[in-house]
Amino acid sequence: MIATNGLVDFHCHLDLYPDHPAAVRESDEAGVFTLAVTTTPKAWPRNHELAQATRHVRAALGLHPQLVAERASELALWDAHLSETRYIGEVGLDAGPRFYKSFDLQKQVFQHVLQRCAVAGNKVITVHSIRAAKAVLDHIEAYLPPTKGKVVLHWFTGSKAEAKRALELGCYFSINAAMLDNERHSSMVTAIPLDRLLTETDGPFTKTADRPSKPADVAVVVEALSRLHGVSTSALAATVRNNLRSLLEPNGEGY
């Protein structure tokens, strides 16, 4: 296994592990640049508080599309916290059968999120798009000009044509091990230029060696991507770090 220091986990739910503070501490000690996404605005303050004490962990302000049916009333709270962070997520759309009944409301919330981010400017947004790639890209194109913010498509499972459209819109992609275990999805990943790739675990929703993945397990993703692209693991890890820098630095602010 490669060294974890300097790796990137751009989408992980650290507050959903049994011991949230320990999960944050472990990520920081492993030297993994970790974006701790939240699923509701009410989870933001504690995530932000723990991340602020670290060098490598940052918290993102989210309102998960799968929770919109019950939590849309928290949108005003999301607005209230927006100025406190550059990182937004998890947000987006989910047209899977369990959540399709709230799809119209999800679209209203996602539109609001993108419009508010566009007004604020300089936000980096990690976006969920299950069975909704076209709708997500339509929203990004309509409501978030490329100069007003950056989008990272998390666990993207759209087609190669949709990936190409996302690239044209300036999107990045965060890739996890589960995507690379799926032949159709790994084929889509090969179509993404190396300079638009980030890595993620989406822990604890993915597993590594039959336990919930943690940020250090992103090393598995780096190894798999390096095999897929025929480059060394050190070169792939350096590319992802540079991509994170490019994502953040045009506006003069590092991670």
- pLDDT of 185 reads 85
In a domain, 153, yes or no: yes
Q: Say which CATH number the domain at 233 has.
A: 3.20.20.140
| Model pTM score | 0.96
The domain tally of the chain equals: 1
Residue 82, pLDDT > 70, answer: yes
In a domain, 255, yes or no: no
In a domain, 228, yes or no: yes
CB atoms inside a 10 Å sphere around CB 36: 29
Low-confidence winner among 78-92, 201-215, 238-252 (lowest mean pLDDT): 238-252
Low-confidence winner among 130-139, 152-161, 184-193 (lowest mean pLDDT): 184-193
In a domain, 69, yes or no: yes
Name the average pLDDT for the chain: 96
Which range of residues forms the domain containing residue 177?
A: 8-250
Question: Count of alpha carbons within 13 Å of 118, Cβ hemisphere only?
Answer: 14
Percent residues over pLDDT 90 in the chain: 93
In a domain, 1, yes or no: no
Residue 40 to residue 53: CA distance in whole angstroms: 21
Residue 9 to residue 15: CA distance in whole angstroms: 15
What sign for the dihedral angle of Cα 98, 15, 37, 222? negative
In a domain, 3, yes or no: no
- pLDDT of 252 reads 45
In a domain, 66, yes or no: yes
Cross-strand pairs, 87: 124
- pLDDT of 253 reads 54
Ordered alpha helix ranges (H), 147-232: 160-168, 177-180, 183-190, 218-229
Give the residue-averaged pLDDT of 209-232. 96
The number of helix segments (H) and strand segments (E) in the chain equals 11, 10
List all residues 6 or more positions away from 45 whose beta carbon is below 8 Å from its beta carbon.
81
In a domain, 2, yes or no: no
Give the residue-averaged pLDDT of 226-255. 88
